[in-house]
Amino acid sequence: MTGTETLKPGIAVGIDGSAGSIAALKWAVSTDPSWGPVTPIAVWQLPWWEVALAGSTAPVAYVRREHGIDDVLDRIVNDDSLSPEQRDRIAGRLVLEGRTVPTLLEASAGHSMLVVGTRERGAVADTILGSVSIDCASKTDIPLAVVPHDGGDASGPVVVGIDGSDNSVAALRWALQHTAADVPVVALGAWSFVVHGAWQELPVVDDRTQVETKQAVEAVVAQVTEELGTDGARISIEIDRADPRSALHSAGESARMLVVGARGLTGWQHLVIGSVTTALLHQPVCPTIVVPAG
């Protein structure tokens, strides 16, 4: 893997020239300046058959491809839609040869965040781009932001999925540390209880499950606010009786940002949120941040 410049601490953004990756870059340079400088990273790789056809001219083909990608980056970072302040956030760029996910992960190591985009909705595009974001989310040691192709809405609260796991603790902690003090934060707990046949009416179990979910969310909020020394006045707790995927998707439609843990609890089916992160990344309705527990 070779690069044209050395990365600086801050936000790394995966760029492939698509509208989705441009939206990801625009979102990154619009974040709070305290998040640090933004470095676009373009990853490319020649197909094996192109290398074979090039024969002895393969090095030339590699150079031409790399220069082509660099031209794409030039157009993106100098786009007229970026304000001078946003353009000033961009700290150099990297053009790297290699496989997309491993190369992005290696290049973004040590950064505060890795940002990737999505394409407009469609079965094939969702599968391809979703696999990249999910692969990154499962392997990266830093927060991953997946930005929808329209960039999302900058208004609304920050919604944090809470299930009582260490990952949801990390998600809430990250949300409070990386958003302005006047931005409302919703700690959302979701649960569903599925029964069949003669056991469809179980009000006692239903109530107990709702109470347990609320207690799990309250415990996480109490732990994080104590750690950070904040009164938690901007945090509101919401409990939704719904499948976590549905609850988070619905909440994300009116949120400026959705924050979830990379993984959730594995033993309590009615409390699992982290395990549905995969579904959320296929078609994000707002910028979705996946925070590792570490």
pLDDT band at 66 (very low <50, low <70, confident <90, very high): low
Give dist(CA 234, CA 68) in Å, integer.
47
pLDDT band at 237 (very low <50, low <70, confident <90, very high): very high
Q: What is the pLDDT of residue 206?
A: 60
Domains of the chain: 11-147 (3.40.50.620), 158-291 (3.40.50.620)
Q: What is the pLDDT of residue 208?
A: 61
Predicted confidence (pLDDT) at residue 293 exceeds the cutoff of 50? yes
Residues in the chain: 294
The backbone torsions φ and ψ at residue 291, rounded to the nearest 5 degrees and listed phi first, read -110, 120
Predicted confidence (pLDDT) at residue 37 exceeds the cutoff of 60? yes
Q: What is the CA radius of gyration of the chain?
A: 21
Q: What is the pLDDT of residue 150?
A: 81
Q: Percent of the chain scored above 70 by pLDDT?
A: 74
Distances in Å between the Cα of 46 and the Cα atoms of 25, 53, 74, 232 are 24, 11, 20, 51
Give dist(CA 27, CA 115) in Å, integer.
9
Instruction: State the chain's mean pLDDT as an integer.
Output: 80
Lookup: tokens for 239: 């409990």
pLDDT tens for residues 162-216?
A: 989 888 999 999 999 999 999 999 999 988 765 544 444 544 446 667 888 899 9
Lookup: tokens for 173: 């902690």
Q: What is the pLDDT of residue 264?
A: 52
212 or 282: which carries more pLDDT confidence?
Answer: 212
Q: What is the pLDDT of residue 3?
A: 42
pLDDT band at 158 (very low <50, low <70, confident <90, very high): very high
Q: What is the pLDDT of residue 225?
A: 97
Q: What is the pLDDT of residue 47?
A: 62
What sign does the dihedral 70-71-74-79 (CA atoms) show?
negative
Predicted confidence (pLDDT) at residue 256 exceeds the cutoff of 80? yes
Predicted confidence (pLDDT) at residue 25 exceeds the cutoff of 70? yes
Q: Percent of the chain scored above 90 by pLDDT?
A: 40
User: Which residues have a Cβ under 8 Å from the Cβ of 215 and sit 6 or more positions away?
Assistant: none
User: Which residues have a Cβ under 8 Å from the Cβ of 272 and sit 6 or more positions away?
Assistant: 163, 244, 264, 265, 266
pLDDT tens for residues 114-139?
A: 999 886 544 334 444 456 787 888 88
Q: What is the pLDDT of residue 89?
A: 93
User: Which residues have a Cβ under 8 Å from the Cβ of 283 and sit 6 or more positions away?
Assistant: 118, 121, 126, 130, 148
Q: Which of 12-16, 104-108, 125-129 has the lowest mean pLDDT?
A: 125-129
Query: Which residue blocks in the chain are alpha helix, DSSP H?
Result: 19-30, 48-54, 58-77, 84-88, 100-108, 123-139, 166-177, 203-228, 244-252, 277-282
pLDDT band at 26 (very low <50, low <70, confident <90, very high): very high
Mapped onto helix, strand or coil, the DSSP state of residue 161 is strand
Average pLDDT over residues 38-54: 72
Give dist(CA 214, CA 239) in Å, integer.
6
Q: What is the pLDDT of residue 44?
A: 79
